[in-house]
Structure 1
Amino acid sequence: MRVLATNKGIRLLLHVDEELPEWIRVDGSRLNQILFNLLGNAIKFTEQGTVSLLATLSPEKTDILDLAVVDTGIGIDEEHLQRIFESFTQADGGITRRYGGTGLGLTISLRLAERMGGTIRVESQRGVGSSFHLQLPLRKAAPVINMQGLTIQQAAQANQKSTLHSLQILVAEDSDDNQMLLQAYFKRLPHVLTFVFNGAEALKRYQEADNGFDLLLMDVQMPVMDGYTATRLIRQWERERGLSAVPIIALTAHAFEEEEERSRQAGCNYFLTKPVSKKVILELVKRFEFVKGETDSVTNE
């Protein structure tokens, strides 16, 4: 998220209390999604100052992890605090027009927190800033070691040294912030990203590509044509011409099983919940780097 904050001239700070254990047991993908939602909103509604992520023990209970996202942004009126986690709740029309809304992000974040046995509470003052506290059960854990005797960090460093194969990736995403985030994720990799803003553009660009694409990242909620419709039309176009199906990764804010099933029925191969973490998406893309490398080897021989 640092690239989004830096582009707005905002300082993004992190503080981890020394009393916290080095390793904890937690649902990493759900935790990532909640923190990305909270940090994304904090950056969106802050014009100057700081956005901080503070990891501490809860002052009320030492077996509770408190992750606080604190900003110096516009804040929230008292009358709106009670409804802020309701679907599509906005502060007021003027703020929505200027900053854009929070959409389903806070609602989904609260549901995910509750599924993890925790909750989210908010404190805010209009014109001063807000602090959202994600509180989860604190479960200590030992370092995770793989079959080669490496920790997660050591294995990741080893993987980065392996040979990478350049992929042509088509990204259908209507949010400028999300496009910027993906560009930052892939900045040090050899892949070429082509961005479009809706499903109709994705379909047209895919059909007109001279050398084709190795992978599609498809946001499912876009104007003009949504990602599900675009995926179905792409699959139909491939079948009519006897082409191999390009891998399509669905990107959606809905982290629920029915949404995953809907994406598969449309023709998507994989399903990722937004905001997508760098670790998750790069690990998935790495599978296609391997396939690309195998294909290139066969072609060269």
Structure 2
Amino acid sequence: MAISLKTDGRSRYLLYRNDDVRLMAFASQEAKQMAIDAGKRYTAAAYPEVWAKDADLVSRVRQFLGDNFPWHDRLTKNGAGLNVVRTLMDMVRGGSVVVIVEDVPALTGLGSPPPAAASFWGVENYDPPRYASVRERYEAQIAELEASATPWAVIESMNDAINAKFMHAAVLVDPVGMLPIFARAGWVSKYGLPDLSNWGEVDEAEGGDGNFAEDVLFDDASDNRTQVSLSDADPFEYVAGAASADVEELAASTGNPEYAAKMLGYDRTTFGNMIHVMKPENGLGPADNVIWHDNGDVYFNGKLIDNMHNY
């Protein structure tokens, strides 16, 4: 059953299933396709947020989807108006729903009222925008995202500040255990060392005697704690070199394309072009955030979807 979607001025827009027998009334297949394409352009140019504010329109769309597509029963009964409108637009774009434009008969009598302002746009004498292809809209979204993106230099500076603060705090807690780890990672040479001149001193207010040499560490690996006097510990000296074979590196991952490009060995321009191919290939939009791993795997919402080295 066809349902009126909107009436703007002298035109009425009707909703049909794509297999509705009444669509056979067109003079030719070409005329039918032209009408279908016109409905697609009309729907694609609309703003779902505007349509969702029209309670009567949303109610008609709910009725149409509920009558013709039983699997949308939950959406039509409990879904938000914006979700209902977006579902309709997706179905029109996919072809399962058809929007047909019909002329509204002119009123007869002493005079006809002036054409009403189109509620679709909210203004009179509007010029409908040119239909934008999916590619054009995607590229426009990319340009907008890149224009508002935080510069990599700023991100790198923020990361360095966080890393330095974390390393210094960890070293102050346990310099014996932490210094070799951070030195091996190159953080000591990059971020420097915190002030260790007072390390080991215990605040007398906390009951300590200030003699760190007599303090002990405990091994909590078992219930029987073993006291190890730090005054008897062997001195250590850091030796530059690669990690031993028994050190297992943790896999790195990031959601930042700038860092991912460096991590995977690509320049930013090449990596950006790879992203523009990878996302549409996996049904994603430019604003959909993914996570890259250092082996090239790409995850979206926790699921592996692709590998960047494929592009």
TM range (shorter): under 0.3
**Structure showing greater Rg:** 2
TM-score by length of 2: 0.16
Greater per-residue helix proportion:
2
TM-score by length of 1: 0.17
Greater per-residue strand proportion:
1
